[in-house]
Structures are given as C-alpha cells and as structure tokens.
Amino acid sequence: MNIGISCYPVYGGSGVVATELGKALAQRGHQIHFIAYSIPFRLEHITRNIAFHEVSVTNYPLFQYPPYALSLTSMMVDVAKFEALDLLHVHYAIPHATSAVLAREILERQGIRIPVVTTLHGTDITIVGQDPSFLPVVKYSIDQSDGVTAVSKYLRDETIEAFGTGDRIEVIPNFIDAARFKRRPNDSLRRAMCAGDEHILIHISNFRPVKNASHVVRVLRRLRRQGLAVRLLFVGDGPDRPAVEHLARELGVHKHVRFLGKQGPVEEILSIADVFLMPSGSESFGLAALEAMACGVPVVSSDAGGLPELLNGSDAGYICPLGDIDTYTKRCMQLFRNQAQHKRMATSARQYAVRHFQTAAVVSQYETYYEQVRTKVGTASGNT
C-alpha cells in the first residue's frame, strides 16, 4: 500500500507512535510518505520505502497566524495525487484530521477517492479538543473520517461521551520495539549520573502542565526527608521545565536533580533507572511508562485516564490516586527499600510489556484495520 502519514514531528507520544508505525510498515514493504512541517524526531533514517514531504507555510503580512492547516491540506492533496496514495493516516485530530478530510474532498472533485484514518491520541480529545474554539471542527473531522482509532478504551469512551461520535472507534494501543527498549546495564553511565549508593527516580515527558512534573520534585523531597538517597533524572523539555527547576531550588533538592533535556536514545537512560514516576493529570495511554516497563523499570503512576488500563492486571507498578503525593512517595519508597519486590516487579514489567504491546502484533492490527476501511469505502484492491 502507499500510505500517507501526518503527525506532529516534535518530541511527544503521538509523533513517536506515527513514526514507529510508518517505519514498521515500510519494513513490511509498504511505501510510506510522511507529511509534516519537519522530519519526525524518531525518523533517524530515510530508507527505501520511506519519503518525507515537508509542509512549508507561506507567510503574508495579513496573516497574524499563518494557516498551517491549509498548507498541510495542499501538501496532502499533492502527495496523494502524485504518489498515488491508497490511504491517508493522520495522528492527533487537530488539525491533521481536518486537513485530511478537506484534502479528501478536494481530491474527490478530481475523481480520486482516498480513505482517511484518524488516530486519536489524547489531549486532542481530553483537553484541547473540547475547547469551544475547536470542538465543532474536531467532532466534524472525526465523524467524517473513514476510520477512527483511539489508543485506549478510556480514550474511545471519552470521545464518544464528549463528542457524541458513536461507537465505531477501533482501539489500537501504543506499542514498543522490545529489541530496542530493553535493559542494557551501563555502570559507567550510572556512575556519571549519581553516587554509588543512590537510587534513580526518573520522569520523562514534554513538561506540559498535564504531566504534573512538579509532583515528581515534591516526591523527591519527601523521599530524601525519609533518609533515602535518591537521584532524580528528568528527561525532556517543555513549558513547565523552568518552573520545575525553580521548585527544586526552592525545596532545596536541586542538587539531587539532573535535567537531561530532550534525549534520543531514552532506552539508555531508562536502563539505569530504578523507578519511573508518571503523575499525569490526564494520560490517554502513557507510552513513556510502557517504554520504561519494557526496560524493566517499575512504574508508579496516577490513576488518570488510560493508566489503570495499561497497568491493571500487571505486577509492573502501582497506580495511585491522582495528586496524592504521599501515596506516590510511599510506593516509590517501597520499591527503593525492598530489593526483592523491586526485582520481581522489574521482571514483571518487562514481561508484561513484551507480551501485550510488541510492534509486530499492533502493526498487524493497523494493517487489518486499513483493509477494513478500504473495503468499506470501496477502494480495496479487490474493488478497484
């Protein structure tokens, strides 16, 4: 199949899923055309079956806000026509689904029919998408997509509830490359990050307010007050990072925190970590937690959104009431203090991630879904 994929190319889960999916589909022989404003950060190599089409936005003195969605639409039309796309798969509804639906309509007028599949990832539904300035257009774009997937049951239900979209949404979870995300102990990296007797607490995010990164600093302070030698590693960057850094200084724990910024090979850092803390206020799936689990790092998380769905039924970590700093602290402490328990949960975390969320199985789910959508629309190879 010739598949167009649009996503946000920057640090974040939706871009990671879109890019890893495209790479895996290319390996299976599909031709993949990424359409975005810059090269997706996880697209390290352009291989034989992968092309990248950059969307550049034309500015004009009248435009206080250059209309990216329109430039994206035009690029989708171009790529669909000249690369003979069979399907357009867009990740994160705003504005990708809207652009894709519009592109499909433009193409239809030219006698070309291209099915649009939209994958809902999280805040496009739970936060931004419900803002009155977006809601009607997001609802329309979901309703008009030929296929819609959500990354968890929680997100599917939330979409139906908030947007009244009907229940035709397919749940296809996030996934990991278990060969890449696996624990590779690295003593010299560990020594470079912390003192010999210290435990490592890690948080990876894009530091948006929804991630509650400040809660991680508060947990660190409580852990240290209880006499635990803990080093906190922050990976990623974003709007809340300066405030979090400020809080660490204010609480007097800054010497025990390292801000590592945006890192490509996160599996290397995860490999030296002992506990992953995800105190998010909203999280549709929690890809960063899954990556930690695959690297044998037990997870302590809030009970927001899809996190219980990810962790329930596993012995991979603890789900705590959202915002409950005491419980986050207690759970981290248990894991740091009880080596046998830590070892058991670290092993379970890896096994659970590998058993349920491997790339191959999830990519096959997408392939099957594409075929279903193409058959429904009447563009499957058998129909044309």
Residues that bind ligand GMT (CB under 6 A): 8, 12-15, 17, 121-124, 151, 174, 206, 210, 282-287
Q: Is 104 exposed, middle or buried (0-12, 13-18, 19+ CB in 10 A)?
A: buried
The tokens of 237 are what?
């960057």
Pair 370, 180: CB distance under 8 Å: no
CB of 167 to ligand GMT, least distance (A): 20
**Quick one: 31 or 284, whose CB is closer to ligand GMT?**
284
Which residues lie closer than 8 Å to 339 by C-beta, 6 or more apart?
none
197 forms beta bridges with: none
Are 223 and 329 within 8 A, CB to CB? yes
Which two three-digit tokens encode residue 359?
A: 């790339």
Shortest reach from residue 17's CB to ligand GMT, in Å = 5
Among 52, 60, 13, residue whose Cα is nearest residue 33: 52
Shortest distance (Å) from residue 122 CB to ligand GMT = 2
Give me the least distance between CB of 262 and ligand GMT, in Å please.
13
Angle at 322 between CA 122 and CA 231, to 5 degrees: 95
- Smallest gap from residue 63 Cβ to ligand GMT (A): 26
Which segments of the chain are extended strands (E)? 2-6, 31-36, 50-54, 87-91, 116-120, 147-150, 170-171, 199-204, 230-235, 257-259, 275-278, 299-302, 317-320
Shortest Cβ 197–ligand GMT spacing (Å): 34
Residue 232 amino acid letter: L
Identify the DSSP state of 93.
H
CB of 9 or CB of 298, closer to ligand GMT? 9
Q: Are the C-beta atoms of residues 32 and 52 closer than 8 Å to each other?
A: no
The 3-state DSSP class for residue 202 equals strand
CB of 126 to ligand GMT, least distance (A): 6
What residue ranges in 254-382 does DSSP mark as E strands? Answer: 257-259, 275-278, 299-302, 317-320
**Gap between the Cα atoms of 127 and 247, Å rounded:** 25
Q: How far is the CB of 64 from ligand GMT (least distance, A)?
A: 25
Query: Which pair of structure tokens corresponds to residue 221?
Result: 């302070």
Closer Cβ to ligand GMT, 11 or 336, answer by number: 11
Q: 78 or 131, CB closer to ligand GMT?
A: 131
Provide the 3-class DSSP secondary structure of residue 204. strand
Closest residue by beta carbon to ligand GMT? 122
Q: Shortest distance, CB of residue 189 to ligand GMT, whole angstroms? A: 26
Determine the length of the chain. 384
Give CA–CA dist 258/197, Å, rounded.
16
**Distance from C-alpha of 1 to C-alpha of 363, rounded to nearest angstrom:** 14
Of 171 and 189, CB closest to ligand GMT:
171
Nearer to ligand GMT, 77 or 236 (CB): 236
Considering the complex, state which of residue 15 and residue 22 has its C-beta at the smaller distance from ligand GMT. 15
What is the smallest separation between the CB atom of 258 and ligand GMT, expressed in angstroms? 22
For ligand GMT, which is the closer residue by CB, 49 or 159?
A: 159
Neighbours of 169 (CB within 10 A): 21
C-alpha R_g of the chain: 22
Cβ count near 176 (within 10 Å): 25
